[in-house]
Amino acid sequence: MNWFILIVAGLFEIGWAIGLKYTAGFTRLWPTVATLFSMVISLGLLGIAMRSLPVGTAYAVWVGVGAVGTALLGIILLDEPATVARLVSLGLIVAGLVGLKLASPT
């Protein structure tokens, strides 16, 4: 269950990372509110997941999910380049996340 919570925390990290772009430097109210909400939920769920998962693993997976998801949404929503090198690099991050899950004692 804590792995599921950790993945959801990572999804909320994606939400606040992308949300930062839409806040326009925290000058737009509703994107700012949504971004701050996502931040709180993301960190709260990360804290819950860390109750039973190793801190290094949990943090790395949280950051990795956020990084991969944010990069992919940047490509999809913000017209960032989808070069082969970027996609391969994201694939390597995903491989690392899978490796951490397989190597985790819990």
| pLDDT, tens digit, 9 for 90 and up, residues 56-79 | 999 999 999 999 999 999 999 999
Q: Is the distance from CB of 2 to CB of 101 less than 8 angstroms?
A: no
Helical (H) or strand (E) element with 7: helix 2-22
Determine the Cα–Cα distance for residues 54 and 71; give it in Å rounded to an integer. 26
> Would you say the pTM of this structure is higher than 0.85?
yes
Q: For 33-48, what is the mean pLDDT? A: 97
DSSP-assigned letters across all residues of 25-85: TTTSHHHHHHHHHHHHHHHHHHHHHTTTS-HHHHHHHHHHHHHHHHHHHHHHHS-----HH
